[in-house]
Structure 1
Amino acid sequence: MSFFQSIVIVSILIAAGSFLALAEIALAGARKVKLKILAESGDERAQKVLDVQAQSADFFAASQIGLNAVGILGGIIGEPAFRLVFLDLLKHFFDGAWIETAAFGLSFVFVTLIFILFADFMPKRLAMIAPEKIAIAVIVPTLIYVKICSPLAWVVNVITNLLFRLFKVNTIREDNITFDDIAAVMEAGAQAGVLLKQEHHFIENVFELEERTVPSSMTTRENIVFFTLTESEESIKQKLAQYPFSKFLVCNETIDQMIGYVDAKDFLVRILNNQKLNQLNESTIRSVLTIPDTLTLSELLDRFRASKETLAVVINEYAWVVGVISLNDIMSTVMGDWVTPMDENQQIIKRDQHSWLIEGSTPIEDMKHVLDIDEMPEEENYETVAGFMMYKLRKVPRPADFVEFNNFKFEVVDVDHFKIDQLLVTRLSVINEDIFIPDKNKDENS
Structure 2
Amino acid sequence: MSLFQNIVIMILLITAAGFLSLTEIALAGARKVKLKILAEAGDERAQKVLDLQAQSADFFAASQIGLNAVAILGGILGEGAFRPYFFTFVSRFYTGPWAETISFSLSFTLVTSLFILFADLMPKRLAMIAPEKIAVAVINPIQIFIVICKPLAWVINALANLLFRLFKINTIRDDNITFDDISAVMDAGAQAGVLQKQEHHFIENVFELEERNVPSSMTTRENVVYFTLKESEESIRQKLADYPYSKFLVCNENIDEVIGYVDTKDILVRILNNQKINQLNESTIRNVLTIPDTLTLSELLDRFRSSKEKFAVVINEYALVVGVITLSDIMITVMGDWVTPIEEDQQIIKRDNNSWLIDGSTPIEDMKHALAIDEMPDDDNYETLAGFMMYKLRKIPRPADIVIFGGYKFEVVDVDHFKIDQLLVTRLLEEQTAPTENEDN
Q: With the length of structure 2 as denominator, give the TM-score of the two structures.
A: 0.98
Cα deviation for residue 338 of structure 1 reads 0.6
Partner of 1:13: 13
Partner of 2:341: 341
Residues 294-329 of structure 1 deviation map (CA, whole Å, 9 limit, x = unaligned)? 000000000001000000100000000000000010
Count residues in correspondence.
441
Residues 219-257 of structure 1 deviation map (CA, whole Å, 9 limit, x = unaligned)? 000000000011111101000011010000000000000
Aligned counterparts, 1:15-414, within 5 A: 15-414=15-414
Q: Is the 8 A contact 1:250 1:260 kept in 2?
A: yes
Cα deviation for residue 412 of structure 1 reads 0.5
* SS across alignment from 1:198: helix
Residues 153-187 of structure 1 deviation map (CA, whole Å, 9 limit, x = unaligned)? 11111111112122222111111111111111111
* SS across alignment from 2:322: strand
* SS across alignment from 1:244: coil
Cα deviation for residue 263 of structure 1 reads 0.3
Distance 1:324 1:263, change over 3 A: same
* SS across alignment from 1:173: coil
* SS across alignment from 1:58: helix
Aligned counterparts, 1:418-437, within 5 A: 418-429=418-429, 432=432
Q: Is the 8 A contact 2:216 2:384 kept in 1?
A: yes
Q: Say whether 1:444 aligns with 2:440.
A: yes
Give the Cα–Cα distance (whole angstroms) in 1 for the partners of residues 123 and 4 of structure 2. 25
Distance 1:54 1:291, change over 3 A: same
Report the residue type matching 1:62 in the other structure: A
Cα deviation for residue 267 of structure 1 reads 0.9
Q: Is the 8 A contact 1:401 1:411 kept in 2?
A: yes
* SS across alignment from 2:46: helix
Report the residue type matching 1:349 in the other structure: I
Distance 1:431 1:275, change over 3 A: farther
Cα deviation for residue 342 of structure 1 reads 4.2
Distance 1:442 1:251, change over 3 A: closer
Give the Cα–Cα distance (whole angstroms) in 2 for the partners of residues 154 and 210 of structure 1. 46
Give the Cα–Cα distance (whole angstroms) in 2 for the partners of residues 442 and 84 of structure 1. 77
Give the Cα–Cα distance (whole angstroms) in 2 for the partners of residues 294 and 164 of structure 1. 45
Q: Is the 8 A contact 2:393 2:438 kept in 1?
A: no
Cα RMSD (Å) of the superposition?
Answer: 1.6
Give the Cα–Cα distance (whole angstroms) in 2 for the partners of residues 429 and 374 of structure 1. 18
* SS across alignment from 1:204: helix
Q: Is the 8 A contact 1:363 1:383 kept in 2?
A: yes
* SS across alignment from 2:440: helix
Q: Percent identity?
A: 77
Q: Is the 8 A contact 1:219 1:325 kept in 2?
A: yes
Report the residue type matching 1:135 in the other structure: A
Q: With the length of structure 1 as denominator, give the TM-score of the two structures.
A: 0.97
Cα deviation for residue 100 of structure 1 reads 0.7
Distance 1:150 1:32, change over 3 A: same
* SS across alignment from 1:333: helix
Cα deviation for residue 82 of structure 1 reads 1.0
Cα deviation for residue 441 of structure 1 reads 12
Distance 1:151 1:442, change over 3 A: closer
Cα deviation for residue 343 of structure 1 reads 4.0
Report the residue type matching 1:216 in the other structure: S
Cα deviation for residue 440 of structure 1 reads 12
Report the residue type matching 1:422 in the other structure: Q
Residues 173-228 of structure 1 deviation map (CA, whole Å, 9 limit, x = unaligned)? 11111111111111111111111111111110001001000000000000000000
Report the residue type matching 1:327 in the other structure: L
Report the residue type matching 1:91 in the other structure: S
Cα deviation for residue 432 of structure 1 reads 3.6
Report the residue type matching 1:274 in the other structure: N
Cα deviation for residue 84 of structure 1 reads 1.4
Give the Cα–Cα distance (whole angstroms) in 1 for the partners of residues 162 and 239 of structure 2. 78
Q: Is the 8 A contact 1:401 1:441 kept in 2?
A: no
Give the Cα–Cα distance (whole angstroms) in 1 for the partners of residues 319 and 142 of structure 2. 67
Q: Is the 8 A contact 2:58 2:157 kept in 1?
A: yes
* SS across alignment from 1:309: coil
